[in-house]
Amino acid sequence: MAKATSPIFTHEPLLGLAQATLADALLDTPVNFVTVVTGNAEGTRIDLVRAKATVVTTAGMLRLFIWNGTNSRLIKEIPMAAITPSATVESFEAEWTPTEPIVLPDATWELRASISAAEATNIYAFGGHFG
């Protein structure tokens, strides 16, 4: 097999968006999850994940999973701080930039998210689709 000598770039930009509202404490196969990104047939790259709560939050966890069409695998936990937003206090927010981009190989793969407390949280994923 010949080794690729040209760089591979994404073909179209990606903005995945979901809002998690139901609590789920599972670390292996969450039941109350949201799908943030579904890969495409040629593959999908995720460079950054951002979370922003829209309500009062208690101390808890935002969890990110990779779904391969059969199984979920926990890839990252992001601690959520207890915050009461107001006119002078921002609601909870966090960003995660993986050391290496996450690559979903095809359309059966997904980036999923869950939250440990039922507190509305928007989850964004930024990257691009190949092909």
Q: pLDDT tens, 29-70?
A: 999 999 999 999 999 999 999 999 999 999 999 999 999 999
Q: What is the mean pLDDT of residues 115-131?
A: 95
Rg (CA), the chain: 16
Q: With 60 as the cut, is the pLDDT of residue 19 above it?
A: yes
- Supply the pLDDT for residue 7: 58
Gap between the Cα atoms of 42 and 52, Å rounded: 30
What pTM did the predictor assign?
0.92
pLDDT at residue 10, rounded to an integer? 77
Give the residue with greater pLDDT, 116 vs 2.
Answer: 116
Q: Is the pLDDT of residue 4 over 80?
A: no
Name the average pLDDT for the chain. Answer: 93
Report the pLDDT value the prediction gives residue 9, as an integer from 0 to 100: 72
Domain boundaries, the chain: 14-129
Contact (CB, 8 A) for 45 and 109: no
Neighbours of 56 (CB within 10 A): 14
14-129: CATH topology is Jelly Rolls (2.60.120)
Convert 90-125 into a string of H (helix), E (strand) and C (coil).
CCCEEEECCCCCEEECCCCCEEEEEECCCCCEEEEE
